[in-house]
Amino acid sequence: MSSATPQTASGGINWFKYSSPQTFFPLAGTLAPWFAAIAAVLFVAGLYIGFFVAPTDAQQGESYRIIFIHVPAAWMSMLIYLAMAFWAGMGLAFNTRLSGMMATALAPTGALFTFIALWTGALWGKPTWGTWWVWDARLTSELLLLFLYFGFMALQAAMDDPRRADKAGAVLALVGVINIPIIYFSVKWWNTLHQGASVSLKSAPTMAATMFTGMIVMVFACWAYAIAAALWRVRCIILERERRSEWVADYLETQK
Amino acid sequence: MLNVMRAVIARDLTLAWRRRSDVFTSMIFFVIVASLFPLGIGPEPKLLLAIGPGIVWVAALLASMLALSRLFASDYADGTLEQMLLAATPLSVIVIAKVIAHWIAANLPLVLIAPLLGLQFGLPADALAVLALALALGTPSLSLIGAIGAALTLGLRGGGVLLALLVLPLYAPVLILGSLAVEATAAGLTAQPYLLLLAALSLGALSLAPWAVSAALRISYE
């Protein structure tokens, strides 16, 4: 425990210890490989269950197996946007540097999952619906979500001052969060073909148990991957932004 | 507070009137974009009737978006905006006044000329009235949401294209509901639910967007 970090008076866990980039950097470095390893194990297990153990679907044949990638990616695309907006909002409200870096680090991973969800959806749509793309509610709102990610990244990239980029991106991310339900419902009223969810918290899943297991394993794999990727990226962002501080110079000295 | 609002609206409208050519340019842009579609697609009346509402709305969206860069740019350049940030009146009140003036100068002309464009696509008379009404109810939210984008991209390089990337995805609900209102009328159904939703979006934007705009403006000046 370094002397630079203040302790709470009560002697309990200091939750704010890791809100400083300097203390978070080694923590992220310790955690990232673990999450990457978990992700790798779960990906292998999930894909094995998905492609070899799970039974063939009665209606869709083998093509349904894309859901083991498609559904986790679609969930992650929305969840990461919420996480990104949460960290952006925290940065705006409490003026913490690390929160903004975290939001910036999450955006490319979120955009990646959105793209995977759209791409695998298209691959699944061709044999099942007979078309790569339909202007349906789910597909359209997912596409708009991708544009929101691109807008966030483009806005931050256009600003040279990282503090201004953090704050401007935060305003945009929060506006986007308000808009996501509006976008979702407006496109839902407009036209719809995508099937309803097969899995919900309220009722038992409408699919075979092994299919469900495979999907859940893949969901956790995607979680672990997203955390690992975000931690690695935030480490790079920390080094870049804190490059003028002493500890970064010391750290880079030890890495030579 | 109301005096400040009135003064800002009067000032911005006077400035817009002194630079009338800007207003006419975005109106002509609107007309040209909507007129290019029949040239590209062909003069089949049934097809034009089907795509007309959407095309007029998309053209209105683009014309409204192009006018956004004028909202804060000149005030930013000559330092007026800095005075507004320092003023005793809350910034969001001044922002509302500026957006109202911008809507009158940039979007009201689009609302007024839209029925003429609808006529080009062979829309029936009641659909033309709904088109104008839907635009009148929907464009305020375009101005308000667009103002957030304009404030965020203030003084950035390549601001125009960036503004389009930020703002157009957020415009989607207005576009969908607006076109649905006109299509429903053309199909002999009631447009009321869509018009009410458009009005609700505009009122929601009116209550939330000014905060976001003032936050974005303050960030630009840090």
Per residue in B94-119, pLDDT tens?
999 999 999 999 999 999 999 999 88
Residue at token pair 């990282």: A162
Give the span between the Cα atoms of B52 and B35, in whole angstroms.
10
Tell me whether residues A168 and B170 touch, CB distance under 8 A: no
Q: What sign does the CA torsion over B139, B145, B149, B154 have?
A: positive
With a cut of 90, say whether residue B156 has pLDDT above it: no
Report the complex ipTM.
Answer: 0.87
Rounded mean pLDDT, B187-215: 91
> What are phi and psi for residue A57, nearest 5 degrees?
-75, 140
**Residue A2: its pLDDT value, please?**
42
**Residue A146: its pLDDT value, please?**
93
Residue at token pair 């509006």: A182
Rounded mean pLDDT, A136-140: 79
Q: Is B172 an interface residue toward A (CB < 8 Å)?
A: yes
**Residue A207: its pLDDT value, please?**
66
Q: Is A93 an interface residue toward B (CB < 8 Å)?
A: no
- Going by pLDDT thresholds of 50, 70 and 90, the confidence category of residue A4 is very low
Rounded mean pLDDT, A156-178: 90
> What are phi and psi for residue A222, nearest 5 degrees?
-65, -40
With a cut of 50, say whether residue A155 has pLDDT above it: yes
Q: Is A58 an interface residue toward B (CB < 8 Å)?
A: no
Compare CB distances from B172 to A163, A178, A183 and report the shortest one's residue.
A183
Q: Tens digit of pLDDT for each residue in A42-92?
A: 989 988 888 888 777 767 777 778 888 888 998 899 899 999 999 999 998
With a cut of 50, say whether residue A6 has pLDDT above it: no
Residue A208 in 3-state DSSP?
Answer: coil
B168 chain-A contacts, CB cut-off 8 A: 147
**Alpha-carbon gap: A81 to the closest alpha carbon of chain B (Å):** 15
Number of domains in chain B: 1
Lowest mean pLDDT, pick from A200-204, B14-18, B126-130, B216-220: A200-204
Mean pLDDT of chain B: 90
Q: Is A157 an interface residue toward B (CB < 8 Å)?
A: no
With a cut of 90, say whether residue B138 has pLDDT above it: yes
Tell me whether residues B162 and A148 touch, CB distance under 8 A: no
**Residue A197: its pLDDT value, please?**
57
Is B61:B175 a contact under the CB 8 Å cutoff?
yes
Range of the domain at B20: 2-221
Is A149:A110 a contact under the CB 8 Å cutoff?
yes
A185 or A89, higher pLDDT: A89
**Residue A16: its pLDDT value, please?**
73
Q: Is B177 an interface residue toward A (CB < 8 Å)?
A: yes
- Going by pLDDT thresholds of 50, 70 and 90, the confidence category of residue B92 is very high
**Residue A205: its pLDDT value, please?**
57
Residue type, B113: I
